Amino acid sequence: MPFPRASGILLHPTSLPSRYGIGDLGLEAYQFVDFLARSAQQLWQILPLGPTGFGNSPYMSFSAMAGNPLLISPDLLKENGFLSEADLCEVPDFPLDQVDFDPVIEWKMPLLRQACSNFTQKASTIQKKEFESFCNSKGWLDDYALFMALLEVREEPVWTQWPDELRQRKPEALEKWRCELKEEIFFQKFLQFEFFRQWSELKKYTNAKHIQIIGDIPIYVSHNSADVWAHPEQFKLVPETGEPIDVAGVPPDYFSETGQLWGNPLYNWEHLESTNFVWWVERVRGLLAYVDLIRIDHFRGLESFWSVPAEEETAINGEWVKAPGKALFNTILQELGNLPIMAEDLGDIDQAVIDLRDHFSFPGMNILHFAFGSDANNPYLPFNVVPNSVIYSGTHDNNTTVGWYYEDTSDYESDRVQQYLGGIGLHGIAWDIIRLTLSSVANQAIIPLQDVFSLGANARMNIPGTAESNWDWRYRGEALTQEYSDRLKEMVMIYGRYHVSEPDEVES
């Protein structure tokens, strides 16, 4: 569905400032929303919110439905009476500009356990009823809480290494462990209750400022996840072991001679279609309860996906296999009534993918960093994009604009950039590209916050294909200056990207 002309900022909540070593859903998140409102921004794009595992990637989560407990705000727990001032008086000296995940986890998880213990003792009748209602409303929660509890207490780090009765989910074994791990299961449920309580309050505040949140659905789920363990029939797995038969990736291309081998298990689309795609429908329904719009990562995999035998060491020996994307979206449309979806249609795209995207009027994506490697026919140049699309200066997978221009571009590309812009302006290359993004005909324009600050490559969020030192960038609270707000707001008004109030009614 087409969306009104607007602009926004890409920022994952982990990148927010906080004295607790990682961005969370407390005061600084609200201050960021205030900055968006002052800047006349009406979109806030985030990355997936799920609990992360190895590598801390939001795209490799223990659950497609759950939230990341590390985003829970200790200050909000204190406001609710579940932590004391004494609990928060000895905070480690965490880095200000990045997330050091292991020390954060080591310090924060015991704190959250203390909050859970206090909840069991101090929660009011209303809070207990809210918790019970939350638990009863989340069909995925029982399996997820048991899965996480088992990961916590067992020595095997992956569910396929568990004993047969657990791996194969024998009812008597599940019941036994539910009894033995009752307290740990309660803790896992408390974490989800508190995460979604805090997130829901933040979303209400954000929407009240006329700002919509763009969420993110990774097309695939992690093999070591509650989803695959609880629903093995929905994935292409070896029945006896639970190991994948074939795995996901993308074929060799200009950027990689061997392609990319992601390793995620592939869907058993025949089974999913026989259930009327109920798991996918509930996944989308659940996310739309907490965001306003959805970006589908690797959208092309819902038309055809690259299938690689699990024993392969590269993605070379794969094949394209058709997926029932049209039937899937028709079902979601029938069940939910609308499809507020954006399609990440980058990579190896053919006409069939374009046809699927356009059949449902999903906006596709345009990246300005990709616009200057050829001539005037380049599809990502601002005058070549279509209105029903989203244009980015760069994404979480790109370098920052400053890093891209000064470190990644060829001489040809940098010359093309300068020719197109007519030279580099007063505020530098990042703001020239921001202006170009906002001035395009694309209905939505998204800017990573790093570009607003004109930061270099050290502020990059992710380098695809690498497993370490990603996802850890953070900004400092004092960086959200009025000067940046004024500059963004001025451009938004010049290029007609504010559509709720008259210009003099925009909050300042």
Alpha helices in 275-410 (DSSP H): 278-288, 325-336, 351-359, 401-403
Phi and psi angles of residue 273, each rounded to the nearest 5 degrees, phi first? -65, -35
From residue 281, alpha-carbon distances to 59, 273, 327 in Å are 19, 11, 12
Cβ neighbours of 101 (radius 10 Å): 17
Gap between the Cα atoms of 392 and 371, Å rounded: 11
Give the residues across from 293 on adjacent strands: 214
- Backbone torsions φ then ψ of 369, nearest 5 degrees: -60, -20
Q: Is 312 a catalytic residue?
A: no
Distance between CA 209 and CA 315 in Å, rounded?
Answer: 45
The DSSP secondary-structure symbol of 52 reads B
Q: 10 Å Cβ neighbour count for 339?
A: 16
How far is it, in rounded angstroms, from Cα 198 to Cα 104?
19
Is 344 part of the annotated catalytic residue set?
yes
Task: Kindly name the residue from 344, 345, 413, 472 that is annotated as catalytic.
Answer: 344
- Cα Rg for the chain, rounded, in angstroms? 23
Q: Which entry of 297, 312, 335, 507 is annotated as an active-site residue?
A: 297
Report which of 110, 91, 86, 79 is spatially closest to residue 18, judged by C-alpha positions: 91
Q: Count other C-beta atoms under 10 Å from residue 17's C-beta.
A: 22
Catalytic residue, candidates 87, 348, 397, 507: 397
| Gap between the Cα atoms of 250 and 261, Å rounded | 7
What is the distance between the alpha carbons of residues 43 and 34, in angstroms, rounded to a whole number?
Answer: 12
CB 295 within 8 A of CB 216: yes
- Tokens coding 105: 């986890």
Q: Verify whether residue 257 is a known catalytic residue.
A: no
**Do the beta carbons of residue 35 and residue 485 sit within 8 Å?**
yes
Catalytic residues: 297, 344, 397
